[in-house]
Amino acid sequence: MSKSGMLWGGRFRHPPAPEMMRLSRADASFFRLTPYDIDACQAHARELERAGLLATAEREAICSALTGIAQDHREGRALPIETDEDVHTFVERLLTERLGALGGKLRAGRSRNDQAANDLKLFLRDGARLLAQDVIGLQEALVAQAKLHIETVAPGFTHLQPAQPVSYAHQLLAHAQTLWRDVERLRDWDRRAATSPLGAAAMAGSAIALRSDLSAAELGYDAPCENSIDAVGSRDHVAEFVFVAAMTNVHLSRLAEELFLWSSRQFGWIELHDSYATGSSIMPQKKNADIAELTRGRAARLIGDLATVLTMLKGLPFAYNRDLSEDKRAAFDALDSLLATLPALAGMVASMTVRVDRLLAQSTDGFTLATEVADWLSRRGVPFAHAHEITGALVQACEEKGVGLQDLTAEELAAFDPRLDATLLQALTAQAAIAARSGPGGTAPARVREQLARLEARLVEQRAWAGAYAGPRHFPDRDKPA
């Protein structure tokens, strides 16, 4: 380390200008990567021992000192100072303070370029498991509510207009299915992110750290990166992680939008628990779904984070460039935002009370049984195009009389069209309409029960994946059992 405390000052005649250092110094949030940097330092110390640059006793002293630094940092006794340009400078400063010249040996055979790529990748692989657990937690809240409402009849909508009756459980599970795919995207992302940048050094590879396959295994990777330039210059794994986070938040935003509607006075489908709602400072009667609103707002931020990463990458020559330091801001924001949003939204869903009576009363509003008439005619040989016209005219007649299809008598049906006999009345209930949709993926209660069983089995498998990670874990306050 140079006299100025920098890792790079040897060839310079003058110290760095304060203005330059204010721009160059890592944002304070970047130092949260310290535990991952220390893990990588310990793996690199073992690599230097294998290369013959460290004796066993030296490696043990370095690893012991690094363990002490990790504990002191975790407990707030070791903190960055103004001259620590980044997390790597911070750790090396502490190491040389404790070990003297021996601490400086650790820098051989590596670069801040491969360190920076590695630290964030370790952070994201660890964070992906935590994120998956929270997404699963929201799925489980939806599943728990769905189990209570398999037979609950609700109006289904398209274009936000009444469409057809559905099982309310089926509506809830539609959101759970999107979230299940989000966890699958994280798992798929992790498979591609499981290669270690260590050993790439600045960009050409290391002449000293020649067993990066072993250090990769020590840090929970599947293998080292195949290409050293790609290892330090690529951030598509960051862009892809932020995409998955943004896609997840978009799905959360769609759920939030429905929670607004369902809890509104006009819908009245659900009652929010007091502990997951807020009030107004001026209107005492208000009970607001603020959690859902904040969730919807954060989706915009995460979409912006994704645009930031993609724009950062699009014009870079292919190796390491300082532009890449912006990767951490976007990645941290995406992960932190979801880790704050998901538990709150899960609590809102788990604690809400469903107004079954309101759902049933509204399930046939807006002529949602019209398709039953058209299907009934079609099964009796009427071409569907003609059946559609007959049903549309019947709806028009009901509108003029101010009645619903389910309110018609057998005599009124026959008077309208002789093909509409009394057996049609058996199909003109919300329960019959739901039961009729019994194909795969349909809303019939039997199919919903099967969907629930499959989804619960998949959630067990997803939790097992999140709990089986072999790499460094540094989210102890949020860790959950697999």
Q: Amino acid identity of 166?
A: V
Query: How far apart are the C-alpha atoms of 131 and 189, rounded to whole Å?
Result: 13
Distance of CA 406 to the CA centre of its chain: 43
* 64: number of Cβ within 10 Å: 13
Rounded distance, CA 251 to CA 302, Å?
A: 12
Which residues, at least 6 apart from 403, have a Cβ–Cβ distance to it below 8 Å?
none
Vertex 99: Cα angle to 95 and 101 (nearest 5): 95
Closest by CA position to 183, among listed 416, 464, 473: 464
Selecting among 14, 159, 275, 281, the annotated active-site residue is 159
Let me know: does 244 contact 144? Beta carbons within 8 Å: no
For 207, phi then psi, to 5°, come to: -85, -5
Given 280, 281, 363, 378, the catalytic residue = 280
Give the CA radius of gyration of the chain. Answer: 30
Whether 159 is catalytic? yes
Q: Which residues contact 1 (CB under 8 A, 6 or more apart)?
A: 7, 89, 92, 93, 96, 104
The CA-based angle 375-382-155, given to 5 degrees, is 15
* 44 carries an active-site annotation: no
442: left (phi over 0), alpha (psi -120 to 50) or beta: beta
Cβ–Cβ under 8 Å, residues 444 and 434: yes
> What are the residue numbers of the active site?
159, 280
